[in-house]
Structure 1
Amino acid sequence: MTNQTTQRVKVSAESFYQEQYSQPEALQYVHAYRIRIENQGRLPVQLLSRTWEVIESTGERRHVEGEGVVGKQPVILPGDSYEYNSWIQFATPFGAMEGSYVMYRRDDDGVENYFEVEVPRFLHIVPAILN
């Protein structure tokens, strides 16, 4: 598991190879991943959008953007966390993802702040290639 904290928002990422959905002979390697977002600050934050950079082991990159995560724009209260699962398909047995979330927070004095929270690079590896 990898994690990184930006402006008191901690993001942890973990990947799980999905052998039952993968077809290596067709160059389809499917991985599930779990993201946990923890609000370590004293004010609520809301996740508005995401940006991903998907990197194949060949160096090929895909850029993915969208609103929210898995169809939601969660509000995370101080001390709470939000966790979601999703999946990604690679054409190679090794890949990586990294990116960021745009978050929103209203300060005590009513000032609205939009800020970017980094998602650390995390790896997607077919376990058999580690042996």
Structure 2
Amino acid sequence: MSKSPQNRIEVDVRTAYVEGQSNPAEDHYVFAYTITIRNTGESAARLISRHWLITDADGGVQEVFGEGVVGQQPFLRPGEDFSYTSGTTLPTPVGTMQGSYQMQTESGEQFDAIIAPFSLALPHILH
């Protein structure tokens, strides 16, 4: 896996609690997240697959692997970005997500774009 200046991907995350699809009485909390993936490197790259670790407040972990994102494998030239919205459910009102996107350059070189941990939480529950 390469971490050269040619291969730089920035990941920006925005989250939201989806009250209308949640049912706290049954420990069912729905969260949406919007992600923008930006190629800040010098080489074009395609997002091949994703890997997520989703942790609830009780320490339960869901591990998710899959091809692409929202049914797509976006190809990003330097300076381009791609945004999408997806969601997850938790049995607790607070949790975290983190992971990586597996990227591939036109020459076939593969590298990981790391997604730093981010919080999923009901509004005003965290200080």
TM-score above 0.5: yes
Instruction: Give the RMSD, CA atoms, in angstroms.
Output: 1.5
The residue type paired with residue 10 of structure 2 is: K
Q: Distance in 2 between matches of 1:123 and 1:32?
A: 11
1:105 aligns with 2:105: yes
1:115 to 95, 111, 115: 111
Q: Distance in 1 between matches of 2:101 and 2:45?
A: 11
SS of match in other structure, 2:25: helix
Q: Distance in 1 between matches of 2:37 and 2:28?
A: 28
Q: Distance in 2 between matches of 1:104 and 1:41?
A: 13
Count residues in correspondence.
122
Percent sequence identity is 37
Q: Any conservation in 2 of the 1:102–1:115 contact (CA below 8 Å)? A: yes
SS of match in other structure, 1:130: coil
Deviation at 1:42, TM superposition (A): 2.0
> TM-score, normalised on structure 1?
0.88
- 5+ residue gaps in structure 2? 1-6
After TM superposition, where is structure 1 displaced by more than 4 Å over at least 4 residues in a row?
Answer: none
| Higher strand proportion | 1
> TM-score, normalised on structure 2?
0.91
Moved more, 37-46 or 84-93: 37-46
Deviation at 1:51, TM superposition (A): 0.4
Q: Any conservation in 2 of the 1:95–1:124 contact (CA below 8 Å)? A: yes
Q: Any conservation in 2 of the 1:13–1:120 contact (CA below 8 Å)? A: no
SS of match in other structure, 1:54: strand
- 5+ residue gaps in structure 1? 1-6
